[in-house]
Amino acid sequence: MRRVLVEGVWPEIDAGAYPVKRILGDDFTAAADLIADGHDLLAGALLYRHEQDDAWREVRLTAAGNDRWQASFALDRLGLWRYAIEGWVDHAATWLRVLRIKSDAGEQSAADLPIELVVGSRLCAAAASRAAVASPSDAVRLRDAARDMARAELPVRERVALALEPGLAQILSRWPDRARAARYPRELAVSVDRPRAQYSTWYELFPRSCGAAGQHGTFRDAEARLPHVADMGFDVLYLPPIHPIGRTFRKGKNNTLDPGPDDVGSPWAIGAAEGGHTAVHPQLGTLADFRHFVAAAAALGVEVALDIAFQASPDHPWVTEHPAWFKHRPDGTIQYAENPPKKYQDIYPIDFESSDWRALWDELLSVFTYWIDQGVKIFRVDNPHTKSLHFWGWCIGEIKARHPDVIFLAEAFTAPKRMYALAKLGFSQSYTYFTWRESAWDLETYMRELTTPPVVEFFRPNFWPNTPDILPDHLVDRGRGAFAARLVLAATLTASYGMYGPAFELMDNRLRPGSGEYLDNEKYELKQWDVGRAGSLRPLIRRINRIRRANPALHADRLLRFHRSENPSILCYSKRTEDRSNVILTAVNLDSSRQGGFVHLDLAELGLTTDQPFRVRDLIGGGRYAWRGSRNYVELDPYSMPAHVFIIERT
């Protein structure tokens, strides 16, 4: 008896298995095809509710052409929202259309009008019954209409005029007969995060390297570095693990296996006699010191993110208290972690196939909740792709249900589908392959993938030009211009980006041969960074981050568009707000030498018309250029500045 088919619902990820992602304050739009037999008019509704609400709210669908319908609602609460789509035959609207056609036909259809008025009278009476409780005034109006249409003593044309009065159609549309409405068979979900899940600017800092020369730094020492980080415009300060570090198989400088007595080891070798994942390394300070550090950062507009690495040093309390949580070899020993050719003798991986998995999962969940209680709401999760995917779906779901403002960044340099699976399971952001993408074709192809459905609906990229684990060849070989170009690319291609701070800021490009990592890597030793040194990238970083903050076009990725360049060494792309009130056009020289060439702009995308003169103002250097039409010239020298970040100014 349900004549309507509801098909092609969008957005929908993997047949509704996973929620799509949005941020607080977004207007969420859903669309569907409503299809039925015959010529009757259709109507439909988008139903929605927050997961903590029992009652559904709804907004009517509007026709978008070719049987496509859509509607929107405001996402005004964090957490998970449910939505569904219903469609039905709109008998009242169909009747009104037929009545209007026959009335306009004059004498040709005059004999049919009395019958149509009887039909309309019955439709109005039925609608009045549906409206009676919720809207008595509508019910009265509908009953009056039903009575008047049935009054045979009134002239037919007078009754037709009453039926076609616009106000009646509006009232009828509010009380349709939905007894045979068809609902899409799946309830779908949208996960709503706070804005920082979409737009964020990260700086990675090792607190232990903030002390005086040769001294192990503390949280108090790191606190003194906070104004420097805030001044450059970063809003997230990411700390590697802050826990006690094991001594068994501790790594020495440059990842050697023969540490000296004063070697500090890798922060990712978590756990010692002083405690494990809920303990603070005693040389960094106390838990109270950490809380003070978090509060001091917040006062400067900077949020502290913690690294969560679910692995253990051989000295971790879990190894003796819960041996079943680790894989044992036939000789009874525990296998250390490996990612050939890399070996991590100082780390034991956790066994997610443990017979004691329930206790293990509960313990790992408690690590997050412990640090949430200390004021941390952002976590960078180390190698989540090497842990159970089902664990992440459960764990993140449990945390978000209690703390919907928590943000998770996946450090997942892995196969694309595995990265996407982690995002579907709840990770708010993810590291990406940007670090190794160099050519214009590579970057454009990758960004098109990330900003095209379905990926754009659930995956939020976070671009990092470097990490403590990764020093890419282009930063080793191409000098200052490469650092500047990668900074601009990371900061303008995506709404979230980060850097391994001091190393990038000071353009450290010393590679340990054969490793792909930094020479004298900070993962294994204390470093002294002269962040006040003349000639650093600090002024440019500050400038770029201020540009990002001032231009809402750079706060999202959906409206990224590429523009053709005649020179393959120049990448040209734009971002804009929905209403095109803020349009940013970026051109980057990807080569190590001066390059020039014409770029062909999609003027409609930029909100411009053919031959309309306009100005572009370079937000980095301050220059203004008068352009006209789609084909315009740029020239970029990496020795001075390898990029333009233009704002479009209409004349």
Tell whether the model's pLDDT for residue 651 goes beyond 80.
Answer: no
In the block, tokens 């549906």 appear at 130
pLDDT tens-digit readout, 317-375: 999 999 999 999 999 899 898 888 778 899 999 999 999 999 999 999 999 999 999 99
Return d(Cα 342, Cα 251) in angstroms, integer: 13
- What local confidence, expressed as pLDDT, does residue 593 receive? 97
251 forms bridges with which residues in the sheet? none
In terms of Cα–Cα distance, which of 241, 211, 237, 243 is closest to 293? 237
Q: Where in the chain is the domain with CATH 2.60.40.10?
A: 5-90+181-192
Give ∠ CA 268-273-276 in degrees, rounded to 5: 45
Return d(Cα 171, Cα 177) in angstroms, integer: 13
Where in the sequence numbering do the catalytic residues fall? 382, 411
pLDDT tens-digit readout, 374-425: 999 999 999 999 999 999 999 999 999 999 999 999 999 999 999 999 999 9
- What local confidence, expressed as pLDDT, does residue 547 receive? 98
Q: Looking at residues 132-140, what average pLDDT do you find? A: 97
* Peptide bond just before 454 cis, omega within 30 deg: yes
CATH classification (class only), 561-650: mainly beta
Q: Looking at residues 615-621, what average pLDDT do you find? A: 97
* Peptide bond just before 341 cis, omega within 30 deg: yes
pLDDT tens-digit readout, 489-502: 999 999 999 999 99
Q: Looking at residues 603-609, what average pLDDT do you find? A: 96
- What local confidence, expressed as pLDDT, does residue 541 receive? 98
Q: Where in the chain is the domain with CATH 1.20.58.80?
A: 91-174
Confidence of residue 514 (pLDDT cuts 50, 70, 90): confident
Q: Where in the chain is the domain with CATH 2.60.40.1180?
A: 561-650
Q: Where in the chain is the domain with CATH 3.20.20.80?
A: 199-312+362-552
Multiple choice CATH, 199-312+362-552, 3.40.50.300, 3.20.20.70, 3.40.50.2300, 3.20.20.80: 3.20.20.80
pTM of the model: 0.95
Mean pLDDT of the chain: 97
- What local confidence, expressed as pLDDT, does residue 133 receive? 95
Structure-token pair, residue 444: 């454009």
In terms of Cα–Cα distance, which of 560, 571, 584 is closest to 645? 584
The fold of 91-174 is: Methane Monooxygenase Hydroxylase; Chain G, domain 1 (1.20.58)
Q: What are phi and psi of 343, to 5 degrees?
A: -130, 140
Tell whether the model's pLDDT for residue 102 goes beyond 90.
Answer: yes
In terms of Cα–Cα distance, which of 608, 569, 529 is closest to 209? 529
Tell whether the model's pLDDT for residue 110 goes beyond 90.
Answer: no
Under CATH, which architecture does the 5-90+181-192 domain have?
Answer: Sandwich (2.60)
pLDDT tens-digit readout, 221-277: 999 999 999 999 999 999 999 999 999 999 999 999 999 999 999 999 999 999 999
Tell whether the model's pLDDT for residue 161 goes beyond 80.
Answer: yes
